[in-house]
Structure 1
Amino acid sequence: MARSDFDPASVEPDGRSPALARLFDPGAEGPWRGSVDGLAVGGAVTVLTYGTDAPGAGPRLHVHPYDETFIVIQGRARFFVGATTIDAAAGDIVLGPAGVPHRFENLGPGRLQTIDIHHSPRWIQTDLD
């Protein structure tokens, strides 16, 4: 399906150059595989990647002053976002709204792999537990 959502002539390039940054080393150990601040590439979002093979494992409860979008790449996760619990599987996305405490855990069996998009040019977080 072809898309034509806007007139390309209506957007003026802002002069930024294309940029490359390495998000993670595929051979690295540990659940936090890497992060790239938007500032490093001149972008508006920060990208993190998380992966674990251990059921029940996941990041601690935390909060951000901006939205966070989680993309489940592999496996199944249970997200706790404020008072809401959301089960998600590979191919799903989950929104953690700004100011709402959240965490997630691997439901298993097998690996959980996520890409976490912080809607900020830098990673800002307060851990709550």
Structure 2
Amino acid sequence: MAHVINPDRWANAPDRWQGELECGAWGSNSCLIFNYLPGIGGGPRLHQHPYSEIFIIRAGTGLFTVGDQEIEATAGQILIVPPNTPHKFTNLGPGPLETTDIHENGSFITEWLE
């Protein structure tokens, strides 16, 4: 059976499609985060997960720290972070950074490292 999940179930700001959803409740082995970072800077601090995370860059440019790498990712690119790899990102500007982050697990498991 397919499930349709309306924005009122996951979006903090429906006009920007910002928010998160644990999809395990609907039988999916994934979680979604829709990020909208309007200004330079911001973003999550260093953390890791026991599963892969996929970042789809929808708009803007971000600086991703993944293990000992620093990667500039721009709109249209996809970045895959392996399990148990410390990572964080920030908006480099000049405009907003928008990403869709896919966690390969039905619920969020995050170990904050800073």
- Normalising by structure 2, what TM-score? 0.89
Structure 2 gap ranges (5+): none
Deviation per CA, 1:74-102: give whole Å up to 9, x if none.
10001000001111111001111100000
Match of 2:85 in 1: 100
CA RMSD of aligned residues (A): 1.6
Long gaps (5+) in structure 1: 1-16
Q: Is the Cα–Cα contact under 8 Å of residues 78 and 105 in structure 1 kept in the other structure?
A: yes
Larger Rg: 1
TM score, norm. by length of structure 1: 0.80
Q: RCO (CA 8 Å, sep 6+): is it higher in 1 or 2?
A: 2
Partner of 1:90: 75
Report SS of the residue matched to 2:24: helix
Residue of structure 1 in register with 2:36 after alignment: 51
After TM superposition, list the pairs within 5 Å mapping 1:20-59 onto structure 2: 20-21=4-5, 22=7, 23-24=10-11, 25-27=13-15, 33-59=18-44
Contact 2:49 2:109 in 1 (8 A): yes
Provide the C-alpha distance between the structure 2 equivalents of 1:77 and 1:41, rounded to a whole number of angstroms.
Answer: 31
CA drift at 1:61: 0.5
1:54 is paired with a residue whose SS is coil
The number of residue pairs the alignment matches comes to 110
- Give the partner amino acid of 2:14: P
Structure 1 residues 31-76: Cα deviation after superposition (integer angstroms, max 9, x where no partner): x931111212211111111111111211111000000000000100
Task: Letter of the 1:18 partner, please give it.
Answer: A
Q: Who is 1:119 aligned against?
A: 104
Sequence identity, in percent?
Answer: 38
What letter is aligned with 2:99?
Answer: T
Q: Is the 8 A contact 2:24 2:105 kept in 1?
A: no
User: Which structure: greater strand fraction?
Assistant: 2
